[in-house]
Amino acid sequence: MHLQKRVLVTGGAGFLGSHLCERLLERGHDVLCVDNFYTGTKGNIVHLLNNPFFELHRHDITFPLFVEVDQIYNMACPASPVHYQNDPVQTTKVCVHGSINMLGLAKRLKARILQASTSEVYGDPTVHPQTEDYRGNVNPIGPRSCYDEGKRCAETLFFDYRRQHKLSIKVARIFNTYGPRMHPNDGRVVSNFIVQALLNKPLTVFGDGSQTRSFCYVDDMVEGLIRLMESPEDVTGPINLGNPDEFTIMELAELVLDLTGSRSQIRYEPLPKDDPVRRRPDITRARQILGWAPTVPLREGLRKTIDYFDNFLRERGLADGGAAAEHRNSAGF
């Protein structure tokens, strides 16, 4: 009946969701973006509003939603500790009640649904790198558990709907992702370092900076999500999506300082409770099943992200007139 796929993206005005909406439109789909704007912003999707195949609907998915679509990307949930710990009860509700509502919608429509899960389901891992069959080391009563356990419960619900109702599901475990449209105050290390460097403020390093992360550029992540959604019916996941290149936090700080030409110093703070010491995905399944692997090196992705934040801050009168861009040009970037 419909030549175009009608695709629902919950959390579509967020950092990752807005890039996903953009890519789906480029692929010729009819996109319904649903967001309650707790962390998402209209600025992320304002350039899409004039597209006749894009629709924006303000809605909180902890309440039922009645629409007609062919596919659902369930991206809605605050993803940074600053935001999900600000209202931990609501975070758990979004993960659990929100998933139940979206799964119920998918069941009624017989639509395929993808859950944006997270590497946080592994907690502070005792296995390195993390494979999908590792069951994790999560504190169920700590300050991060609203998100960690909320996402773990969401995965449970997805697979129970698969077993009980034969629902077509996909579960992606997303590792650290960065790029343009990140929230400047989300507390995540890439946005923190870039904003602090551009403002020549001290870069906040928690612990001694030896803890590691793996950083995936947003364009690569969106490609992985779409490939998972379009994979054969029997491919349910969970599948790790992330960049297997591992960096210490100090290495990231030094790279940001180099790319921005910032005068910032390093300021050390105590390591937050339950903060993972090492984090790196094993993406063997993604390579073999989806033919997917990241292609954007960290240095290249950081340059694009720095340009975005440099413009963002200058437009608000907070930066020094594009000094970072001038530094990069003079350095041959």
Catalytic positions are 147
Alpha-carbon distance values, 151 to 85, 316, 321 (Å): 14, 35, 41
Q: For 111-202, where are the alpha helices, taking DSSP H only?
A: 145-165, 189-198
- CA distances (Å), 19 to each of 111, 181, 259, in order? 22, 9, 24
Separation between Cα atoms, residue 89 and residue 146, nearest integer Å: 7
For the chain, the first-to-last Cα distance in angstroms comes to: 49
What is the rounded distance in angstroms from the CA atom of residue 333 to the CA atom of residue 330? 7
Nearest to 190 by CA among 85, 295, 306: 306
If residue 117 lies in a helix (H) or strand (E), which one and from where to where?
strand 112-118
> DSSP class of residue 38?
S
Q: Give residues with Cβ within 8 angstroms of 255, minimum separation 6.
A: 247, 298, 299, 302
